[in-house]
Structure formats: structure tokens, C-alpha cells
Amino acid sequence: MIFLEKTLAVATKYGYMFVDGIFYTLLLSAITVFFGTIMGSLLSMLRMSRFSVVRFIATAYIEIIRGTPLLLQLYLFYFLLPDLLPFLDDKFLCICIALVLNSAAYISEIVRAGIQAVDRGQAEAARSLGMSGVQNMLRIILPQAVRNILPALCNEFIMVIKETSLASTFFIGDIMSQYKKIQGLTYLVIEPLLIAGIIYFMLTFSLSKVVAAFERRLKTSD
């Protein structure tokens, strides 16, 4: 009982800090997935380029990003970026860039899979009518691929919400950063952790329900 009372007391007293944390976690995730989608789409085009050098570079990038830990990448960009580009001395910005570069690699594979899942006959029909490769991609393939891509992209958003917790290493205001601050203020470990966990779960669980409903609608409107 004492434990629950303490947890409630922490939630009441420091709730506003967690609200800040939710804001930053969602902001960071939204920025990551938004720019990650733009960059990931471009990357997937490079990955499917007819020039083997371009394909190789894109593939190498994707493999390296996916083959090394995100935490390592965060450290690297956190320390390296301000050194290389002195105007980038905002740590939130550096973390954002690292997260975007990371998630672009994953999203490019989502986009590629979505495009390749479109029946080959579609492109053949479009090209046989005289459409160029670009016209075919923009008007025939991508509109169909979006249906495959969107649900996976929403799942990526849910993943990123959890992954941004790694950025708390650098105290950038997300839920886990706030947890650490509250822990420092209260000398309590478990109680604020429980609250953070509940918040994460509520965020991801409700979002995945939304995605599932959304996916059902995409299917039935077919």
C-alpha cells in the first residue's frame, strides 16, 4: 500500500514533468518519422536505381545503419556533429538528425517492400501505354504502394516512440529524461519508473489500436 501511495504522490507532484516528457517524446518521434519518411523514400529509390554504384552506396548505408546500435549512432552524432559543423551545437537538433538518419534506413526498406509488392503487370501496362518511368512511379505504382506502406509506417512511429528513450542519455526532455530528473529529485527509483512505463504503454497500445483500425479500413475500401 505504501508503494502505491508513493507512486500516486509522485504522479501528483511531478505529473507536469511527465506531461512535458510526453510532449518531447511525441515531438521527437514525429520529427523522426516525418523526415525519416522523406529521406527513406529517396533512399529506397536509390536502392532500386539502375546504376549499380548508386545501389551499392544506398545498400551500404542501410546495412551499416541497421547493423550498428542506435545508441552508438546517437553518441557519434552527439559528439561528432558539433565538431564538424559548429553551427550544429544544439543537442536536440543533433539527436534529431541521428534519429532521422537511423529511421530513414528502416523506412527505406518499408517503402521498397511496399513498392515491390505492387504487381509487376501494373508497371508493364503503364509503360505499354507510353508512360515514362517517372510517370509510372508517381501515378501508378506509388499510389498503390502507399496502401502497403502506411500501416508499416505507423508501426515504425510506435517503434520510434520506444527508441527515443535511448536519447534520454543526453537529457533532451523526453519521458525517460524526465524520469531521471524526478528520480534525482525524489531519490525514488521504482515508483517514477512505473509511471513512465505506464505512459509508454498507454501511448504505444492506443496507437497500435488506431493503426489496426486504420488497416482494416484500408482493406475494406479495396
Partner 1 sequence: MTDQPMIYVEDLYKGFGTLKVLKGITEHVNKGEVVSIIGPSGSGKSTFLRCLNLLEEPDSGKVFFEGVEITAKGVNINVHRQRMGMVFQLFNIFPHLSVIENISIAPTMLKGIPKAQSKKAAELLLERVGLQDKRNEHPSKLSGGQKQRLAIIRALAMEPDVMLFDEPTSALDPEMVGEVLDVIKSLVSEGMTSVIVTHEMGFAREISDRVLFMDEGMIAEQGPPQALFGDPQNQRTKEFLSKVLY
Note whether 121 binds partner 1 by CB under 8 A: yes
Identify which of residues 66 and 216 has a Cβ nearer to partner 1 in the complex.
216
Give the CA dihedral 196, 198, 200, 202, nearest 10 degrees. Answer: -150
Distance CA 77, CA 56 (A): 23
Distance CA 107, CA 156 (A): 8
Note whether 9 binds partner 1 by CB under 8 A: no
Identify which of residues 67 and 121 has a Cβ nearer to partner 1 in the complex.
121
Stretch that binds partner 1, among 89-97, 104-112, 131-139, 187-195 (CB under 8 A): 131-139
Note whether 183 binds partner 1 by CB under 8 A: no
Inter-CA distances, 112 with 105, 117, 152, 217, Å: 11, 8, 12, 23
Note whether 51 binds partner 1 by CB under 8 A: no
Distance CA 162, CA 203 (A): 10
Out of 67, 130, 213, 220, point to the residue binding partner 1 (CB under 8 A).
130
Note whether 127 binds partner 1 by CB under 8 A: yes
Note whether 116 binds partner 1 by CB under 8 A: no
DSSP 51-106: SHHHHHHHHHHHHHHHHS-HHHHHHHHHHHHHHHSTT---HHHHHHHHHHHHHHHH
Q: What is the closest distance, in whole angstroms, from the C-beta atom of residue 115 to partner 1 in the complex?
A: 14
DSSP 133-173: HHHIIIIIIHHHHHHHHHHHHHHHHHHHHHHGGGGGGG--S
Stretch that binds partner 1, among 23-31, 136-144, 169-177, 179-187 (CB under 8 A): 136-144
Identify which of residues 90 and 124 has a Cβ nearer to partner 1 in the complex.
124
Residue with cell 502497403: 148
Out of 33, 81, 140, 176, point to the residue binding partner 1 (CB under 8 A).
140
Q: What is the closest distance, in whole angstroms, from the C-beta atom of residue 217 to partner 1 in the complex?
A: 15
User: What does the binding site for partner 1 look like in residue numbers (CB under 8 A)?
Assistant: 119, 121-122, 124-132, 135, 139-140, 143-144, 222
